[in-house]
Amino acid sequence: MKMRKTAGNLLKSVHLLQAGRYTYRKLTGQLKTLQWRIQHGNELAPDGLPYPPPHLCFPVAANYDPVHFFSTGKTGAAAILSILQKNGRNIDDFERILDFGCGCGRIARHWRSFEELKMYGTDINPKLIEWSRKNLTFGQFSTNGLESALKYADNSFDFVFAVAVFGHFREGLQRHWMKELCRVLMPGGFLLVTIKGKNRIGELTDKEAAEFRSGRFVVIEPERSGANYCLAYHPDSYFRNVLAGQLEILYYEPSGSPDTSQDVYLLRK
């Protein structure tokens, strides 16, 4: 009975800590958004589109600065274009593109100039999607559940990318979302995924690092999947043997995603 009571108190403390952390970040975001609006008003980004407010930047980029949000998105978009070109493709070779975990269009906004593209984005956060629908009218944006099916038919897209998304899923969701992205990808289509690889091992405890080196998937706060609090780390062997499945791995670059310091894979169905 005493052990149960102790465990219950510990769990209660954890929940209080999580609630306090969420409240702190929410209030911080609201304050920084107020400060931004006072200082910048309706200032547009260099691409002529609005900056998302700080409280919406943070869930996407773990940073409240809209200028940082814009610049890292530009870097990320350029890196994807470069990887495609290294593999004999250009972004305008594709007709329908899906940004999985799009947030408020951190990367997608930088491809607005490719007028023939049909850009789609989906995200778990309805507030981010609401902002994208209002401000990024060149694309079509929708919400998805944490472990739902996507609202798209089979074989809908010839290019899908997921940047800094799989780093926030517990293991069961890793498999679920890889399967779902494969479902909506056309035969011969390309999938680009970034993950926290071996260059991020310094963020782990000694025990977690040992598990990672042994080829095991490591996840912190799996109960917070879908949020920045959940942190997932993928050994290369785990990604190749467990997640990639029957997809062909065309390209792998450790730390190849400069805006996220994550490993990048380009796969083909």
| pLDDT by residue, tens only, the chain of 269 residues | 544 445 445 444 444 455 566 677 778 878 888 899 999 999 999 999 999 999 999 999 889 999 999 999 999 999 999 999 999 999 999 999 999 999 999 999 999 999 889 999 999 999 999 999 999 999 999 999 999 999 999 999 999 999 999 999 999 999 999 999 999 999 999 999 999 999 999 999 999 999 999 999 999 999 999 998 999 999 999 999 999 988 999 999 999 999 999 999 999 99
Token couple for 68: 């940082």
Residue 51 domain flag: no
User: Can you give the pLDDT at residue 12?
Assistant: 47
DSSP of 45-83? PTTSSBPPPHHHHHHHHS---HHHHHHHHHHHHHHHHHH
Residue 37 domain flag: no
Residue 111 domain flag: yes
Residue 163 domain flag: yes
User: Can you give the pLDDT at residue 20?
Assistant: 67
CA dihedral 180, 183, 187, 188 (to 10 degrees): -10
Residue 140 domain flag: yes
Sign, CA torsion 241/244/250/251: negative
Task: Give the CATH number, domain containing residue 256.
Answer: 3.40.50.150
- Residue 67 belongs to domain spanning: 63-268
CA dihedral 166, 167, 168, 173 (to 10 degrees): 40
CA distance 42 to 36: 10
Taking alpha carbons only, the member of 235, 225, 243 closest to residue 165 is: 225
User: Can you give the pLDDT at residue 18?
Assistant: 54
User: Can you give the pLDDT at residue 7?
Assistant: 43
Q: Hey, how many other C-beta atoms are within 10 angstroms of the C-beta on 153?
A: 9
User: Can you give the pLDDT at residue 31?
Assistant: 84
**21 Cβ contact list (under 8 Å, min separation 6):** 229
Residue 192 domain flag: yes
CB 214 within 8 A of CB 206: no
User: Can you give the pLDDT at residue 157?
Assistant: 98
Domain count along the chain = 1
Tokens 């997809």 — which residue?
247
CA distance 37 to 138: 25
User: Can you give the pLDDT at residue 10?
Assistant: 44
**125 Cβ contact list (under 8 Å, min separation 6):** 59, 103, 143
User: Can you give the pLDDT at residue 16?
Assistant: 47
User: Can you give the pLDDT at residue 15?
Assistant: 46
User: Can you give the pLDDT at residue 14?
Assistant: 44
Residue 2 domain flag: no
CA distance 65 to 173: 30
